C-alpha cells in the first residue's frame, strides 16, 4: 500500500495528501511506526494480514516524482507481481466522499501515477482512488489541491481519509475482490 503525498508541513492536511494521510492512519491504527530505512525513498512499515505480511509506505519524494521511491521499496518487499501493488491517491474525477478500487486503467492526468507508471513501465497496478472533486475553475487547481482546509471542509476531508483507511483495512484483511465490492458499492 503506497499512499501518495507531498512532503513538508506546508502540504499537511491538503486534498492532495489524502493517499499518504490514509496510509499513515492505517499505520497508527495498527500501532506500527513508519520508518525511513537506509537506501529507501519511502517511510514504511510491515503489518501482518491473514494472507501474510504487507507493507504500508509513503514516499519521501514530491508527488510528481513518486515513481522514484518504487524500485527500492519493491526490492525491500520482494514484490514481483505488480498487481499486488496498491497506490492510494487523490482523484479529481471523483466527488468528495467517493472511493474507487480498481486494477489498472488510465492515469487521468495524475502526475504521481504518471511517474509510477513510467518507472514501472506499466499501468497494471491497483489504485485506491479517493475523491476530492474538481476546483471551481482550472486556474484554481493548485490552490484547490494544495490549500489547507478549515471548518466543515477540513472535517469532511478527515472523514474521507478515515473512509480511505477503512478501505485499506478491508484490502489488508479481506483481499482485493472483497474490498473492491465493498468500496465500489
Catalytic option among 16, 31, 89, 110: 16
Q: Mark whether 16 is an active-site residue.
A: yes
Place of cell 494472507: 51
Residue 3 has which C-alpha cell? 499512499
Q: List own/partner pairs for 159-162 with CB under 8 A and 24 or more apart.
A: 159/97, 160/18, 160/96, 160/97, 160/130, 160/131, 160/132, 161/18, 161/21, 161/22, 161/25, 161/130, 162/25
Q: Supply the residues annotated as catalytic.
A: 16
Amino acid at each position: 500500500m503506497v499512499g501518495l503525498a507531498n512532503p513538508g508541513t506546508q502540504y499537511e492536511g491538503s486534498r492532495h495528501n489524502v493517499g499518504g494521510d490514509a496510509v499513515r492512519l492505517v499505520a497508527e491504527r495498527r500501532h506500527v511506526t513508519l520508518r525511513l530505512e537506509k537506501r529507501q525513498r519511502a517511510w514504511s512499515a510491515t503489518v501482518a494480514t491473514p494472507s501474510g505480511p504487507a507493507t504500508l509506505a509513503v514516499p519521501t519524494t514530491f508527488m510528481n516524482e513518486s515513481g522514484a521511491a518504487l524500485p527500492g521499496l519493491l526490492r525491500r518487499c520482494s514484490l514481483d507481481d505488480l498487481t499486488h501493488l496498491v497506490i492510494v491517491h487523490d482523484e479529481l474525477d471523483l466527488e468528495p466522499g467517493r472511493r474507487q478500487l480498481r486494477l489498472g486503467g488510465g492515469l487521468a492526468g495524475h502526475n504521481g501515477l504518471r511517474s509510477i507508471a513510467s518507472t514501472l513501465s506499466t499501468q497494471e497496478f491497483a489504485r485506491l482512488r479517493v475523491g476530492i472533486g474538481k476546483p471551481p475553475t482550472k486556474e484554481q487547481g493548485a490552490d484547490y489541491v494544495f490549500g489547507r482546509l478549515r471548518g466543515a471542509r477540513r472535517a469532511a476531508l478527515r472523514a474521507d481519509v478515515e473512509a480511505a483507511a477503512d478501505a485499506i483495512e478491508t484490502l489488508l484483511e479481506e483481499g482485493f475482490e472483497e474490498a473492491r465490492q465493498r468500496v465500489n458499492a
